[in-house]
A and B are shown apart, each in its own frame.
Chain A
Amino acid sequence: DTGVSQDPRHKITKRGQNVTFRCDPISEHNRLYWYRQTLGQGPEFLTYFQNEAQLEKSRLLSDRFSAERPKGSFSTLEIQRTEQGDSAMYLCASSTGLAGLADTQYFGPGTRLTVL
Protein backbone atom coordinates (compact mmCIF):
# COMPACT_ATOMS: atom_id res chain seq x y z
CA ASP A 1 0.00 0.00 0.00
CA THR A 2 1.60 3.26 -1.18
CA GLY A 3 -0.78 5.51 0.74
CA VAL A 4 -2.64 6.66 -2.38
CA SER A 5 -6.19 5.37 -2.57
CA GLN A 6 -8.64 5.30 -5.46
CA ASP A 7 -12.35 4.64 -5.56
CA PRO A 8 -13.98 2.69 -7.03
CA ARG A 9 -11.53 -0.08 -7.94
CA HIS A 10 -13.78 -1.32 -10.73
CA LYS A 11 -16.53 0.38 -12.71
CA ILE A 12 -18.72 -1.11 -15.41
CA THR A 13 -20.93 1.30 -17.30
CA LYS A 14 -22.92 1.50 -20.49
CA ARG A 15 -21.86 3.63 -23.41
CA GLY A 16 -23.10 7.17 -23.06
CA GLN A 17 -23.19 7.22 -19.27
CA ASN A 18 -21.12 9.54 -17.10
CA VAL A 19 -18.63 8.19 -14.56
CA THR A 20 -16.60 9.83 -11.80
CA PHE A 21 -13.49 8.49 -10.11
CA ARG A 22 -11.90 9.69 -6.89
CA CYS A 23 -8.27 9.78 -5.82
CA ASP A 24 -7.00 10.49 -2.30
CA PRO A 25 -3.27 11.29 -2.40
CA ILE A 26 -0.71 11.05 0.38
CA SER A 27 -1.69 13.92 2.64
CA GLU A 28 1.48 16.04 2.43
CA HIS A 29 1.87 15.67 -1.34
CA ASN A 30 1.37 18.81 -3.42
CA ARG A 31 1.29 17.23 -6.86
CA LEU A 32 -1.36 14.89 -8.16
CA TYR A 33 -1.33 13.15 -11.53
CA TRP A 34 -3.89 11.22 -13.56
CA TYR A 35 -2.84 8.58 -16.07
CA ARG A 36 -4.65 6.15 -18.35
CA GLN A 37 -3.24 2.70 -19.01
CA THR A 38 -4.46 0.15 -21.54
CA LEU A 39 -3.42 -3.50 -21.69
CA GLY A 40 0.22 -4.01 -22.59
CA GLN A 41 1.02 -0.30 -22.52
CA GLY A 42 2.70 2.01 -20.04
CA PRO A 43 0.72 4.74 -18.30
CA GLU A 44 -0.23 7.70 -20.50
CA PHE A 45 -0.28 11.12 -18.91
CA LEU A 46 -3.68 12.85 -18.74
CA THR A 47 -3.30 15.81 -16.40
CA TYR A 48 -1.65 17.03 -13.23
CA PHE A 49 -2.29 19.43 -10.36
CA GLN A 50 0.00 21.50 -8.20
CA ASN A 51 -2.14 21.92 -5.10
CA GLU A 52 -5.57 22.96 -6.48
CA ALA A 53 -4.27 24.35 -9.78
CA GLN A 54 -4.52 22.18 -12.88
CA LEU A 55 -1.24 23.01 -14.61
CA GLU A 56 -1.14 20.78 -17.65
CA LYS A 57 -3.49 18.65 -19.69
CA SER A 58 -2.65 16.11 -22.35
CA ARG A 59 -4.23 16.22 -25.80
CA LEU A 60 -5.62 12.81 -24.80
CA LEU A 61 -7.91 14.65 -22.41
CA SER A 62 -10.84 15.41 -24.70
CA ASP A 63 -13.63 17.79 -23.71
CA ARG A 64 -15.53 14.79 -22.32
CA PHE A 65 -12.93 14.52 -19.56
CA SER A 66 -12.71 16.90 -16.64
CA ALA A 67 -10.62 16.78 -13.48
CA GLU A 68 -10.79 18.78 -10.30
CA ARG A 69 -8.82 19.04 -7.10
CA PRO A 70 -10.80 21.30 -4.77
CA LYS A 71 -8.81 22.60 -1.80
CA GLY A 72 -5.72 20.80 -3.05
CA SER A 73 -6.62 17.53 -1.38
CA PHE A 74 -8.52 14.71 -3.11
CA SER A 75 -9.15 14.80 -6.85
CA THR A 76 -11.94 13.62 -9.11
CA LEU A 77 -11.83 12.61 -12.76
CA GLU A 78 -15.12 12.67 -14.63
CA ILE A 79 -15.78 11.17 -18.03
CA GLN A 80 -18.98 12.27 -19.72
CA ARG A 81 -20.78 10.33 -22.45
CA THR A 82 -18.43 7.36 -22.12
CA GLU A 83 -17.29 5.50 -25.21
CA GLN A 84 -15.97 1.96 -25.52
CA GLY A 85 -12.52 3.39 -26.23
CA ASP A 86 -12.50 4.84 -22.72
CA SER A 87 -12.18 1.33 -21.28
CA ALA A 88 -8.85 1.32 -19.46
CA MET A 89 -7.18 1.47 -16.07
CA TYR A 90 -7.16 5.00 -14.67
CA LEU A 91 -4.22 5.58 -12.35
CA CYS A 92 -3.67 8.38 -9.88
CA ALA A 93 -0.25 9.29 -8.49
CA SER A 94 0.96 11.88 -6.04
CA SER A 95 4.35 13.39 -5.25
CA THR A 96 5.84 15.93 -2.89
CA GLY A 97 6.55 18.54 -5.55
CA LEU A 98 10.17 18.79 -4.42
CA ALA A 99 12.88 18.94 -7.05
CA GLY A 100 14.71 15.98 -8.58
CA LEU A 101 14.85 12.55 -6.99
CA ALA A 102 12.64 13.56 -4.11
CA ASP A 103 9.73 13.93 -6.49
CA THR A 104 9.00 10.21 -6.80
CA GLN A 105 5.43 9.51 -7.84
CA TYR A 106 3.47 7.11 -5.64
CA PHE A 107 0.68 5.38 -7.51
CA GLY A 108 -2.72 4.29 -6.32
CA PRO A 109 -4.16 0.86 -7.18
CA GLY A 110 -6.12 2.27 -10.11
CA THR A 111 -9.75 2.22 -11.24
CA ARG A 112 -10.56 -0.32 -13.94
CA LEU A 113 -13.26 1.11 -16.24
CA THR A 114 -15.21 -1.13 -18.61
CA VAL A 115 -17.60 0.54 -21.04
CA LEU A 116 -20.14 -1.85 -22.57
Chain B
Amino acid sequence: KNQVEQSPQSLIILEGKNCTLQCNYTVSPFSNLRWYKQDTGRGPVSLTIMTFSENTKSNGRYTATLDADTKQSSLHITASQLSDSASYICVGSSGGSYIPTFGRGTSLIVHP
Protein backbone atom coordinates (compact mmCIF):
# COMPACT_ATOMS: atom_id res chain seq x y z
CA LYS B 1 0.00 0.00 0.00
CA ASN B 2 1.34 3.44 -0.95
CA GLN B 3 1.93 5.77 1.98
CA VAL B 4 3.24 9.30 2.59
CA GLU B 5 4.20 10.40 6.09
CA GLN B 6 5.04 14.00 6.96
CA SER B 7 6.73 15.60 9.92
CA PRO B 8 6.40 17.68 11.92
CA GLN B 9 2.62 17.88 12.09
CA SER B 10 2.89 21.58 12.90
CA LEU B 11 5.63 24.17 13.13
CA ILE B 12 5.81 27.74 14.42
CA ILE B 13 8.70 30.01 13.39
CA LEU B 14 9.54 33.69 13.44
CA GLU B 15 9.44 35.76 10.28
CA GLY B 16 12.77 35.73 8.48
CA LYS B 17 13.86 32.34 9.80
CA ASN B 18 14.45 29.22 7.71
CA CYS B 19 12.68 25.90 8.20
CA THR B 20 12.67 22.39 6.79
CA LEU B 21 9.69 20.07 6.41
CA GLN B 22 10.12 16.31 6.03
CA CYS B 23 8.35 13.68 3.96
CA ASN B 24 8.87 9.90 3.94
CA TYR B 25 7.18 8.05 1.13
CA THR B 26 6.46 4.49 0.13
CA VAL B 27 5.16 4.69 -3.42
CA SER B 28 5.69 1.89 -5.88
CA PRO B 29 6.53 1.98 -8.68
CA PHE B 30 7.71 5.51 -7.98
CA SER B 31 6.98 8.14 -10.63
CA ASN B 32 7.27 11.55 -9.02
CA LEU B 33 6.87 13.52 -5.81
CA ARG B 34 5.19 16.89 -5.47
CA TRP B 35 4.98 19.48 -2.75
CA TYR B 36 1.81 21.56 -2.55
CA LYS B 37 1.03 24.68 -0.51
CA GLN B 38 -2.50 25.02 0.81
CA ASP B 39 -3.66 28.30 2.30
CA THR B 40 -6.47 28.09 4.83
CA GLY B 41 -9.82 27.62 3.09
CA ARG B 42 -8.24 27.25 -0.35
CA GLY B 43 -7.25 24.40 -2.65
CA PRO B 44 -3.65 23.15 -2.80
CA VAL B 45 -1.23 24.79 -5.24
CA SER B 46 1.77 22.94 -6.68
CA LEU B 47 5.22 24.19 -5.58
CA THR B 48 7.66 21.60 -6.95
CA ILE B 49 7.66 18.34 -8.90
CA MET B 50 10.55 15.85 -8.79
CA THR B 51 11.31 12.49 -10.38
CA PHE B 52 13.69 9.87 -9.00
CA SER B 53 16.55 11.26 -11.12
CA GLU B 54 16.30 14.74 -9.58
CA ASN B 55 17.64 15.43 -6.10
CA THR B 56 17.01 19.18 -5.86
CA LYS B 57 14.38 21.52 -7.27
CA SER B 58 13.89 25.18 -6.39
CA ASN B 59 10.96 27.53 -6.72
CA GLY B 60 11.93 30.94 -5.36
CA ARG B 61 12.48 30.63 -1.62
CA TYR B 62 11.28 27.01 -1.68
CA THR B 63 13.81 24.22 -2.27
CA ALA B 64 12.78 20.58 -2.38
CA THR B 65 15.19 17.67 -2.11
CA LEU B 66 14.64 14.02 -2.94
CA ASP B 67 16.64 10.98 -1.83
CA ALA B 68 15.34 8.04 -3.85
CA ASP B 69 17.45 5.56 -1.88
CA THR B 70 16.01 6.43 1.52
CA LYS B 71 12.65 7.48 0.06
CA GLN B 72 12.78 10.82 1.80
CA SER B 73 12.04 14.33 0.64
CA SER B 74 12.34 17.68 2.32
CA LEU B 75 11.03 21.16 1.63
CA HIS B 76 13.27 23.99 2.80
CA ILE B 77 11.83 27.48 3.12
CA THR B 78 14.34 30.31 3.23
CA ALA B 79 13.78 33.70 4.87
CA SER B 80 10.19 32.92 5.81
CA GLN B 81 7.44 35.48 5.29
CA LEU B 82 4.05 35.84 6.96
CA SER B 83 2.46 34.69 3.70
CA ASP B 84 4.23 31.33 4.05
CA SER B 85 1.76 30.45 6.82
CA ALA B 86 -0.11 27.51 5.29
CA SER B 87 -0.29 23.72 5.15
CA TYR B 88 2.40 22.03 3.06
CA ILE B 89 1.41 18.70 1.58
CA CYS B 90 3.73 16.05 0.16
CA VAL B 91 2.22 13.94 -2.63
CA GLY B 92 3.64 10.77 -4.18
CA SER B 93 2.59 9.40 -7.55
CA SER B 94 3.20 5.90 -8.81
CA GLY B 95 3.57 4.78 -12.38
CA GLY B 96 0.80 2.28 -11.93
CA SER B 97 -2.01 4.63 -10.93
CA TYR B 98 -3.52 7.97 -11.85
CA ILE B 99 -4.41 8.53 -8.20
CA PRO B 100 -1.69 10.21 -6.12
CA THR B 101 -1.05 9.51 -2.44
CA PHE B 102 -1.31 12.56 -0.20
CA GLY B 103 0.37 13.13 3.12
CA ARG B 104 -1.51 14.77 5.99
CA GLY B 105 0.46 17.96 5.61
CA THR B 106 2.58 20.12 7.90
CA SER B 107 0.89 23.22 9.25
CA LEU B 108 3.35 26.13 9.24
CA ILE B 109 2.70 29.32 11.17
CA VAL B 110 5.05 32.27 10.67
CA HIS B 111 4.89 34.88 13.43
CA PRO B 112 6.04 38.49 13.02
Closest to B31 in A: A100
Give which listed residue, A33, A107, A112, contacts B41 with CB less than 8 A: A112
Whether A41 touches B42, Cβ cut-off 8 Å, given contacts A48-B99, A100-B31, A104-B49, is no
Tell whether, in the assembled complex, residue B43 and residue A4 are in contact, meaning their CB atoms are under 8 Å apart: yes
Q: Does A25 contact B (CB under 8 A)?
A: no
Tell whether, in the assembled complex, residue B32 and residue A101 are in contact, meaning their CB atoms are under 8 Å apart: yes
Chain B contacts to A: CB under 8 angstroms: 4, 9, 31-32, 34, 36, 41-46, 49, 51, 89, 91, 98-100, 102-105, 107
Tell whether, in the assembled complex, residue B41 and residue A110 are in contact, meaning their CB atoms are under 8 Å apart: yes
Central interface residue in B41, B43, B45, B51, by most chain A CB within 10 Å: B43
Give which listed residue, A55, A56, A108, contacts B43 with CB less than 8 A: A108
**B86: min CB distance to chain A, Å:** 13
B residues in contact with A45, CB < 8 Å: 99
**B67: min CB distance to chain A, Å:** 19
B residues in contact with A100, CB < 8 Å: 31-32, 51
Tell whether, in the assembled complex, residue B102 and residue A110 are in contact, meaning their CB atoms are under 8 Å apart: no
Cα-based distance from A25 to B99 in the complex (angstroms): 17
Chain A contacts to B: CB under 8 angstroms: 2, 4, 31, 33, 40-45, 48, 55-56, 91, 93, 100-101, 103-110, 112
Cα-based distance from A112 to B46 in the complex (angstroms): 21
A residues in contact with B9, CB < 8 Å: 40
Tell whether, in the assembled complex, residue A2 and residue B99 are in contact, meaning their CB atoms are under 8 Å apart: no
B residues in contact with A56, CB < 8 Å: 98-99
Tell whether, in the assembled complex, residue A43 and residue B44 are in contact, meaning their CB atoms are under 8 Å apart: yes
**A60: min CB distance to chain B, Å:** 12
